[in-house]
């Protein structure tokens, strides 16, 4: 098993691994300095950008601008597709989970998951029970240390709700753009509120639907990761010390009890 620190990067709808890698250059550079390698899988569903906006109300919408993708390529993908006639209803095909299972086995294990838009929606669902959903053992994928959502949303379909109902233990950072017109604030906050209060952090930037790459903002994200990892390490050290004390104390008590019992028999 590799000692490298790795992050699973899940791109947005109408993007690709290459596009998301290009859009997160600043973040990748800073995380590289912290010892993290970023891995970008590409969603299996090919998307026809030209067929996205065909209704009279939607004509003229620029897909590249709408989804923060690339205007120079038609090779774009999605993790899942919207159900016909339902705006916020999605069905994730088993092939997506199978693909990510193989990707983790071939490239992981991973320390964290970072997603944007649809990729963050998928990531937020996955980290509710990562190993169960992707059929991975603890040896194949130890517990994740963090999750970061850029414009991510909670999946609303009934079939996914049980996973959100239990207390999620993976620390999360939820990033929202004040001018984001693609994913409504209420949907972003629904994902944020799925986490216990002590396991979630909200960060707001003044822009729209994208992953900010400015140095000050990226520094905030990296500081959060470091603070989260260090906090977990400190809590683990405290637990180990407490367990050691509890282990030693009963031994002393047992010795004293044995002495008392032996005295009573003299």
Catalytic sites, residue numbers:
117, 180, 209
Among 143, 158, 90, CA closest to 118: 90
d(CA 103, CA 120): 17
Q: Which residues contact 113 (CB under 8 A, 6 or more apart)?
A: 7, 8, 10, 123, 126, 127, 130, 144, 146, 147, 148
Cα–Cα distance list, 109 to 104, 113, 117, 131, 145 (Å): 6, 11, 23, 11, 11
**8 Å CB contact between 177 and 207:** yes
């Amino acid at each position: 098993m590799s000692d490298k620190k790795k992050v699973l990067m899940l791109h947005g709808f109408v993007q690709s691994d290459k596009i998301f890698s290009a859009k997160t250059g600043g973040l990748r550079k800073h995380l590289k300095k912290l010892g993290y390698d970023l891995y970008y899988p590409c969603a299996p569903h090919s998307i026809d950008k030209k067929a996205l906006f065909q209704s009279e109300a939607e004509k003229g919408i620029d897909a590249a601008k709408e989804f923060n993708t690339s205007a120079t390529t038609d090779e774009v993908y999605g993790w899942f597709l919207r159900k016909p006639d339902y705006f916020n209803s999605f069905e994730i095909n088993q092939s997506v989970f199978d693909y990510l299972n193989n990707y983790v086995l071939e490239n992981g294990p991973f320390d964290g998951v970072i997603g944007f838009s649809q990729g963050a929606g998928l990531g937020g669902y996955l980290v509710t029970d990562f190993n169960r959903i992707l059929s991975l053992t603890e040896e194949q994928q130890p517990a994740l240390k963090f999750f970061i959502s850029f414009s991510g949303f909670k999946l609303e379909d009934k079939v996914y709700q049980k996973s959100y109902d239990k207390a999620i233990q993976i620390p999360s950072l939820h990033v929202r753009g004040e001018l984001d017109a693609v994913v409504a604030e209420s949907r972003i906050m629904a994902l944020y509120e799925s986490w216990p209060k002590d396991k979630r952090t909200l960060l707001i930037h003044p822009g729209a639907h994208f992953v900010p790459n400015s140095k000050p903002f990226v520094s905030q994200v990296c500081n959060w990761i470091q603070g989260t990892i260090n906090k977990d390490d400190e809590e683990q050290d405290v637990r180990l010390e407490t367990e050691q004390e509890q282990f030693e104390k009963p031994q002393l008590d047992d010795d004293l009890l044995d002495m008392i019992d032996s005295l009573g028999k003299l």
